[in-house]
Structure 1
Amino acid sequence: MNPTVLIIAGALLIFGGIGVTEGNEDALVPGSKELTTGKGIDVTQHKNILLLPAEEECGFADKEDIATSMQQSGSKVFLTKPNTPSKYPWMVRVVVEDNKGVRWPVCSGTLISSRYVLTSATCLIGLNSAVKVSNIVLGGHNAHCDNGKCFPISKVVEVSDTVIHPDYVLPTRQHDIGLVKLAKSVTVTESYMRPVCLPKAETLFAGFKNNKTVSVSWGKLEEGSLASSYMLYPRNLRVTEMTFELREYCDRFYKISHAKFGPGRFCATSTANKGICSDEDGGPLLKPIMIPESDQSRIYQIGIVSFQNKLCGQPGIPAGFTNVINYMSWILDNMSLD
């Protein structure tokens, strides 16, 4: 192993920052604690709440897939199966276009309604002036496809508008959240194209059963040279099991480069032999949570991938996430029917 990685791993142990272990049930509570803002957020009465799907209409696909991801042995990093409908039907790819008309995907995002995609502000503003967001690719989870064939067939939708949080700060990635409005509504009843659920009240976190979450993206498997970069990307969606870290630990690791962590952010580490890597910006951190006053669970997006350490893909290195619940009012304020 790289000596630098060994030194950092040792420091993590010294400062007590290693993620919650599976056998330490008493330590599972901080997972939900790190999402709690102290503001008692509840947007269930927001004027635009009906623009988001009800829990009966979001956050479900093949529920066994995420449940299985929580029980994986070995690396706990795996790729979705090829040539099968997406197990994460809310996943989208954000595509940009340069002034010569060349298009390519740069980030991940999630479908949150029939008209809106949630992603990071970095994906939308961290571009040069000659590049603009052009369209969104929905419904696919095979990034390269074989012989030009993908299953299911991806749907490409043009973009009509993008909204970036007004207080977003690029160097530190504070308030790293953005919305993409599709030029037309999409049908969200297809098995391969459905919205994810968003947390509408902090009381939802009382439904936490453990400290585990999963990050899903098409990000790199590891860093490498530009010449070999194509080979460093997975063909299918990459799923990584994560655990929450205390904000105090996040500050120890990132305070100098990314400012102090507050209620708008949290960090998590991979329990696998491969952590979050580059080009995963905008992707979701997902968790199955019990619906209040119900015996059913749904998949909720609780975080947005914001930044990673330069030692990408290494175990024990935390990644920074935007805390979705902290921005629910902002999300709804910037959604509209027209």
Structure 2
Amino acid sequence: MKSTRQVVGIFLSTCLLPFIFLQSVQAQGSCRNPNQNQGQCLSIYDCQSLLSLVQQTFVTSEDRNFLRNSQCTNGVGRQPHVCCTNDRSYGPQDTTSTAPPVTPANPGQQGQEGQQGQGNLLPSPPKCGPHSFSNKVYNGNDTAIDEFTWMALLEYVDRRGRRELSCGGSLINSRYVLTAAHCVIGDVEKAVGRLTTVRLGEYDTSKDIDCVDGICNLPVIEMGIEQATVHPQYDPNDRNRVHDIALLRLDRPVTLNEYIQPVCLPLVSTRMAINIGELLVVSGWGRTTTARKSTIKQRLDLPVNDHDSCARKFAMRNIQLISSQLCVGGEFYRDSCDGDSGGPLMRRAYDQAWYQEGVVSFGNRCGLEGWPGVYTRVSDYIDWILETIRP
């Protein structure tokens, strides 16, 4: 389904209430919050105290009222605007009520938080897998403009110097993108070209700046690749395509913003079982029923298949699947396809954040009924990821 971002209320599905009958207008930039403490009228995206309240798994009715009554006008930045202080609720607070400074996200901090003792290089909720802030739905399969903000596009250059966007990937911290090994080495080098660049913050590849209903994202960021690391057991000549996973180290830390955030990975502390029939989400800019590529980021909900049945199906084509491969889909005309390779297979799981459960690997053509797509199971490669990434 196609959805876009028109942020006119308090955002999570658990607390989507429109801002109505609001606080009186204050002088531009200056305001008083519901506790009558003076603050700055800012975009909620720049006010960490209230943004963190919105992102909680459960928001009480009192919290909703505080958020609603915190709105102000004549603010700075993207709407909606709130009177920003350190207050997160009614009444006296533990911290001072002066407005917190607005500073850009520090990529070295936001991308370094994860399990203790594991290098602290993979983020955990709420610093990964954020929800979309929009509640408007259109027709079709287009994502919203701020949905799946970890999605990456890989760019290649052929022998003639022509640039082409082909595979996908996902940002897992401020320095690394997770993708498929076959997007890095093997046939892709001959068929498409040499992998050179990672594009982040993309939505509509046909436009320089993407706007939907007056909401515009920030300019796309293009990052060079300092190092590409393919799983050591991946063999590009093996038709089974086992261990089809790779890491791309960006040439510099990416500055995170509301349109560029990392996805969560299923660490031991947050991992949940994947059940047969459960719907997972795949996203990318790959082939559709009407075009070789989509210019707009797409999403598709697909059911998990029984692994043994899927393995028997692919054995008919002399392809031997292993347990670290996940079968999803198999419905007519509903599948990941050319150009989606390397992209994430996702679900909302622990703490209601988005987790990447799979990497798009291969299938028997696209959208053939009874033939699921095959994905690399990310949870089986967490140890390798943690051993490979570095600050």
TM-score (norm 2): 0.63
Rounded to whole Å, the distance in 2 between the matches of 1:307 and 1:46 is: 34
CA deviations over 1:148-175 (Å, ceiling 9, x no partner): 5435221111111100011113322110
Contact 1:270/1:317 (CA < 8 Å) preserved in 2? yes
CA deviations over 1:271-308 (Å, ceiling 9, x no partner): 574322222110110000023xxxxx100000001002
- Compute the displacement of 1:235 (Å): 2.1
- Compute the displacement of 1:60 (Å): 0.4
1:243 equivalent in alignment to 2:303? yes
For the structure 1 residues 102 and 174, does the alpha-carbon distance in structure 2 shift closer, same or farther, using more than 3 Å as the test? same
Rounded to whole Å, the distance in 2 between the matches of 1:177 and 1:286 is: 16
CA deviations over 1:302-334 (Å, ceiling 9, x no partner): 000100212x13444300000000000111111
CA deviations over 1:112-168 (Å, ceiling 9, x no partner): 0000000000100133369321110000111222xx543522111111110001111
Give me the CA root mean square deviation. 2.8
Counterpart position of 1:10: none
Q: Unaligned stretches of 5+ in structure 2? A: 1-113, 212-216
- Compute the displacement of 1:260 (Å): 2.7
1:200 equivalent in alignment to 2:267? yes
Counterpart position of 1:144: 206
For the structure 1 residues 244 and 64, does the alpha-carbon distance in structure 2 shift closer, same or farther, using more than 3 Å as the test? farther
Q: Bigger relative contact order, structure 1 or 2, given CA contacts below 8 A and separation 6+?
A: 1
DSSP-derived class of the 2:382 partner: helix
* Letter aligned with residue 181 of structure 1: R
Contact 1:165/1:176 (CA < 8 Å) preserved in 2? yes
* Letter aligned with residue 166 of structure 1: P
DSSP-derived class of the 2:271 partner: helix
Contact 2:150/2:170 (CA < 8 Å) preserved in 1? yes
Counterpart position of 2:172: 112
For the structure 1 residues 336 and 288, does the alpha-carbon distance in structure 2 shift closer, same or farther, using more than 3 Å as the test? same
- Which residue among 142, 145, 156 is the counterpart of 1:79? 142
Aligned length: 268
Rounded to whole Å, the distance in 2 between the matches of 1:110 and 1:274 is: 21
1:158 equivalent in alignment to 2:218? no
- Which residue among 357, 367, 382 is the counterpart of 1:328? 382
Identity over aligned pairs, percent: 28
- Compute the displacement of 1:216 (Å): 0.4
- Which residue among 268, 278, 285 is the counterpart of 2:345? 285
- Compute the displacement of 1:246 (Å): 1.0
DSSP-derived class of the 2:374 partner: strand
Equivalent positions of 1:1-338 (< 5 A) are 44=115, 47-48=118-119, 50-62=120-132, 78-81=141-144, 85-126=145-186, 127-128=188-189, 131-145=193-207, 148-151=208-211, 152=217, 153-170=219-236, 171-188=239-256, 190-201=257-268, 204-205=271-272, 211-222=278-289, 231-257=291-317, 259-269=319-329, 273-291=333-351, 297-310=352-365, 312-337=366-391
Structure with greater helix share of residues: 1
DSSP-derived class of the 2:225 partner: strand
Structure possessing the higher radius of gyration over alpha carbons: 2
For the structure 1 residues 236 and 286, does the alpha-carbon distance in structure 2 shift closer, same or farther, using more than 3 Å as the test? same
TM-score (norm 1): 0.72
* Letter aligned with residue 216 of structure 1: S
Q: Unaligned stretches of 5+ in structure 1? A: 1-42, 224-230, 292-296
CA deviations over 1:90-110 (Å, ceiling 9, x no partner): 000011123443221110000
DSSP-derived class of the 1:252 partner: helix
Rounded to whole Å, the distance in 2 between the matches of 1:202 and 1:208 is: 18
- Compute the displacement of 1:212 (Å): 1.1
